[in-house]
Structure 1
Amino acid sequence: MNAVDPSLEAAPIADWRSYPISADLAGLSASSDSLDITWSDARVSPFHHQWLRDNCACSQCVYSVTREQLLEVVDVAAELSPQRTRIDEQGHLLIDWQDGHRSRFHPGWLRAHAYDEASRAERRAQRAQPRLWGAELAEQLPQFDYQTLLEDDSALLQWLLAVRDLGLTQVVAVPTTSGALQQLARRISFIRESNFGVLFDVQSKADADSNAYTAFNLPLHTDLPTRELQPGLQFLHCLVNDALGGESIFVDGFAIAAALHQEAPELFHVLCTTPVEFRNKSRTSDYRCLAPIIALDAQGLVSEVRMANFLRGPFDAPAERMPALYRAYRRFIAITREPRFRVQRRLQAGQLWCFDNRRTLHARSEFDPTSGARHFQGCYVDRDELLSRIHVLQR
């Protein structure tokens, strides 16, 4: 076996993940601006020269400590092309560039990032998909043990995957002491602080700065729709719940959006394209955000629902669109009231909800504060932190 050129000894992968080899490099074919790779399963993937040079992972192009890129592609010639290409004995792609630079690509990494249509479709199919639910989830609600989640990373991963895919989970056997929630939330990442604090106490009080701190019926909503970025995860931990009433109600906002899209696509479009202002006002703060009720991601899929009628400002839309906006808004709320979509359950002391606040709408029925104590604690963790923790646990 020939010795590896010292200039190519750096890790050929520029991030922290591993890339299994699902197909070997079988052949190379050059064109004027790209290199076509034929794989051992007969798939053909074109890689443009600029793309290959831009993604070189050698120590000159990527800092090995942080695995972040040093190269800016504008610093190499736009018409740069390979002088020589070959497959080495380890199955890597080697490229000698016209300017003297040398690149080495791992076949697993190349396949994972190939952008021929078959490879892109393969990646789309492998992406996690939300599992839509309705009232049936009340009998299938995933439950996880608090202490196990603190001690076992594999159990932690299963819980986080359930939060990601379902958007609603319950944790049981939680100590009924103030702050126990904080220990669990930090198993994911740091807690997002808001004007309500790091941990907020949900109790009825006379000087309430939110309807959540009253005994009123609280209709279905997402928390903090008044922020540019709504909190991703919300935790609600029950310390005591002796009052009459106060049941928790949940609906899957993604399932509501899907139902609206199927039933009245024109109304779905209105809620995706018409910004609505939400406002959260108190004596010491004034938060406002203008955004659509249903947000779509880069692939056109529903990524967020933003709703809290008690925090909504007056609609501001062109006069000719106002009737359609009201039809869409009314229909969305009406669907959330259909029993087929609603999960209703009373949270007991020592239990907590963890749900995706940008997907799952939650509500609370009215309760009688004179009939017994009711004390929940809550906090927020951003969705990005959930996904990051999942990725690290998986790798």
Structure 2
Amino acid sequence: MNTAAAFADFRTYPLISALAGVQALTDRVMVKWADDRVSPFHHQWLRDNCPCPLCVYTVTREQVLEIVDVEEDLVAAETSVDAQGCLCVAWQDGHRSRFDPGWLRAHAYDDESRTERRASKPQSRLWHGDLPLPVFDYPALMNDNDALLQWLLAVRDIGLTQVRGVPTEPGSLKLIAQRISFIRESNFGVLFNVQSKADADSNAYTAFNLPLHSDLPTRELQPGLQFLHCLVNDAEGGESIFVDGFAIAEALRQEDPEAFQALCEIPVEFRNKDRHSDYRRLAPIIALDACGQVSEIRMANFLRGPFDASVEQMPKLYRAYRRFIAMTREPRFRLMQRLNPGELWCFDNRRTLHARNAFDPGTGARHFQGCYVDRDELLSRILVLQR
């Protein structure tokens, strides 16, 4: 069963275990659950998270209480479990709080609950060159929210998907990208045309091969998702190549910890300069999240400035950088496939590095359209669809 949503949230929370008892101590409340787990909740935490209409605006469900406006030594005068199974706390200053048991269990911070919560969080599914490519149908994604959710989960967890059956009229890409959220505009536009042209302002707009890279590493926040939609592909060559940057980073962590550490700690400057703009960003190639897991790869050799590291660090950086690029060329990691008209790639640009073989524009036309959507929009859309 799901318990009723508290004012502080739009979600409902499953009743994993009912409240079996409560005991008030000097600075906290000890809650015992029906499955014998015991969770302590400090008075400050409970008061800070009171979901009543005086503490949370019921329209936006955002907090209006600031904990500094409550006495620091606030004491629970009375605690109980009511007939609906909710934890009730009467505070010494007269305020009353009532906590939904499903919500309370979902946010409990005893060691067992925190470990359980971390284990239940989505995990990246690392892949190599033999990945069974997740393929989705355009009409289904446009008309069926269940199909849409499955696609977005694959983008989140695997970082590389293909969609087939997409109309080949220019601008069609915008419709499917907007099924997730709004498109992130860049100096290349809302939709950008990937074609060979004489006055190119990026190597992407030539017939050259492009080495494995992430787009816009020159920005403070690289775009989260990249879409590449094939309208025409009659030219010889131009196959798409992908590697899972997270898988390479984890392999590097195991096989060469010193190189891994260097790429996590020594920043590199990336530059994107043309006639009208000049973007620069100094950041490590591998970024870790608060739990030490790889959260981002920042890489584009053709947009890299000269290394600026200490005399002691410079040899370490070059050795690590060479090792990382060499690993991206290993067949075990590489997936290569030609994209046909009416097909598109959607991938996590901060994880999945992409490349393109050189092509011969003399053998036929090649026209892709691309766009970006931030990773935050993907995650938000998933949560809304799930609830």
Name the TM tier (shorter chain).
over 0.9
Q: Per the alignment, in what secondary structure is the counterpart of residue 340 of structure 1?
A: coil
> Residues of 2 paired with 1:22 and 1:357: CA distance?
37
Check whether the contact 1:132–1:254 (CA below 8 A) recurs between aligned residues. Answer: yes
Alignment partner of 1:197 out of 185, 189, 214: 189
Aligned: 1:353 with 2:345: yes
Contact 1:295-1:305 at 8 Å conserved across structures: yes
Matched, 1:370 2:350: no
Q: Shift in Å at residue 20 of structure 1?
A: 1.0
Structure 2 equivalent of residue 91 of structure 1: 85
User: Residue 246 of structure 1 contacts residue 364 of structure 1 at CA under 8 Å; is this kept in 2?
Assistant: yes
* 1:80 lines up with 2:74 in the alignment: yes
Give the conservation status (yes or no) of the 8 Å contact 2:240–2:354. yes
The one-letter code matched in structure 2 to 1:169 is: T
Instruction: Write the mapping of 1:1-395 to structure 2, written as runs, cut at 5 A.
Output: 12-137=6-131, 140-395=132-387
RMSD: 0.8
- Equivalent-residue separation in structure 2 for 1:206 and 1:288 (angstroms): 25
Residue pair 2:23, 2:79 contacting (<8 A) in 1 also: no
Deviation digits for residues 256-307 of structure 1 (CA, Å, limit 9, x no counterpart):
0011000011110000001100000000000000000000001110000000
Amino acid at match of 1:113: H
Counterparts of 2:14 and 2:238, CA distance in 1: 50
Contact map agreement 2:7 2:58 (CA 8 A) in 1: no
How far the C-alpha of 1:28 sits from its partner, in A, is 1.1
Identity over the aligned pairs, expressed in percent?
74
8 Å CA contact 1:12, 1:104 repeated in 2: no
Stretches of 4+ aligned residues off by more than 2 angstroms: 10-13
**Structure 1 residue 12: deviation in Å?**
3.4
Q: Is the 8 A contact 1:254 1:359 kept in 2?
A: yes
Q: Secondary structure at the match of 1:224?
A: coil
In the other structure, the counterpart of 1:4 is none
Aligned residues of 1:95 and 1:103 also touching (Cα < 8 A): yes
CA distance in 1, matches of 2:341, 2:218: 30
Deviations 1:340-377 (A, max 9, x none): 00000000000000000000000000000111000000
Partners of 2:5 and 2:12 within 8 A in 1: no
Structure 1: distance between partners of 2:7 and 2:319: 52
For 1:12 and 1:372, locate their aligned partners in 2 and report how far apart those are by CA, in whole Å: 60
After superposition, the C-alpha distances for 1:31-50 in whole angstroms (9 at most, x for unaligned) are 21101101000000000000
Change (3 A) 1:382 1:11: closer
How many residues align? The count is 384
In 1, the alpha carbon distance for the partners of 2:24 and 2:326 equals 59
Instruction: Please say if residues 7 and 53 of structure 2, whose CA atoms lie closer than 8 Å, have aligned partners that are also in contact.
Output: no
Aligned residues of 2:5 and 2:13 also touching (Cα < 8 A) = no
Task: Rate the CA distance shift 1:84–1:162 in 2: closer, same or farther, 3 A.
Answer: same
Task: Say if 1:296 and 1:304, in contact at 8 Å, map to a contact too.
Answer: yes
Q: In structure 1, how many angstroms separate the alpha carbons of the residues matched to 2:79 and 2:157?
A: 43
Cα distance change, pair 12–245 in 1 and its aligned pair in 2 (3 A): closer
- Counterpart residue type for residue 138 of structure 2: Y
2:298 partner letter: R
Question: Do 2:32 and 2:38's aligned partners in 1 also have CA atoms closer than 8 Å?
Answer: yes
Residues 178-212 of structure 1: CA deviation (Å, up to 9, x unaligned): 01100000000000000000000000000000000
Q: Which amino acid aligns with 1:127?
A: K
Counterpart-to-counterpart distance in 2, 1:259 and 1:11? 42
Q: Does the Cα contact within 8 Å between 1:13 and 1:109 map onto a contact in 2? A: no
Which letter maps to 1:73? I
The CA deviation at 1:11 is 6.3
Q: Which moved more, 1:20-29 or 1:157-166?
A: 20-29
SS in 1 for 2:261: helix
Does the residue aligned with 1:236 lie in a helix, a strand or coil? strand
1: CA distance between counterparts of 2:163 and 2:104?
Answer: 41
What amino acid is aligned across from residue 8 of structure 2 in structure 1? Answer: A
Q: For the residues of structure 2 that align with 1:11 and 1:194, how far apart are their CA atoms?
A: 39
- How far residue 101 of structure 1 moved from its aligned partner, in angstroms, is 0.4
- Residues 45 and 116 in structure 1, CA contact (< 8 A), matched pair in contact too: yes
Residue of structure 2 equivalent to 1:6 = none
TM-score normalised by the chain length of structure 1 = 0.96
Q: Secondary structure at the match of 1:370?
A: helix
